[in-house]
Amino acid sequence: MLWIFLMDVAHAQEAASSAAKPNLLETMMPFLMMFGVIYFLILRPQSKRNQAQKVFLSSLKKGDSVLTSSGILGSIEGLTDKFVTLEIANNVRVRILRSQIAGPAQQQEDQKS
């Protein structure tokens, strides 16, 4: 009697598993959604930042105050395709790679309290 009951359960499981196979679109949907989230939250903003940095680096000119990626403030004294000469103090000049300039220097006046 127990044998008959187990056979019915086995046939029922086999019928249920063959009827519930998802199609290709249902299988790929979670992966497509994850790719969309990653694209809009990580890849797209990063490419916009890279594009803005390229525009900034191409628009540099002599006399601009800039901040390097290492935290050095200076004004541009000379430009080439790859290098920038910064004056970081009176008569103190350093040559750095153009790609190491992080952005414009935000000069704030010190306020006495």
Lowest average pLDDT, out of 4-8, 21-25, 36-40, goes to: 4-8
Which pLDDT belongs to residue 22? 79
* pLDDT tens string 92-110: 999 999 999 999 987 644 4
Asked whether the beta carbons of 86 and 77 are under 8 A apart, the reply is: yes
Q: What confidence tier does 49 reach under pLDDT thresholds 50, 70, 90?
A: very high
Find where tokens 């009697």 sit. 1
Q: 86, exposed or middle or buried, with CB in 10 Å at 0-12, 13-18, 19+?
A: buried
Residue 46 has pLDDT above 80, yes or no: yes
> 3-state class of 83 per DSSP?
strand
Which pLDDT belongs to residue 16? 54
Cα distance between residue 12 and residue 6, in whole Å? 10
Residue 46's φ and ψ, nearest 5 degrees, are -65, -40
Asked whether the whole model's pTM tops 0.85, one would answer no
What percent of the chain is modeled with pLDDT above 90? 68
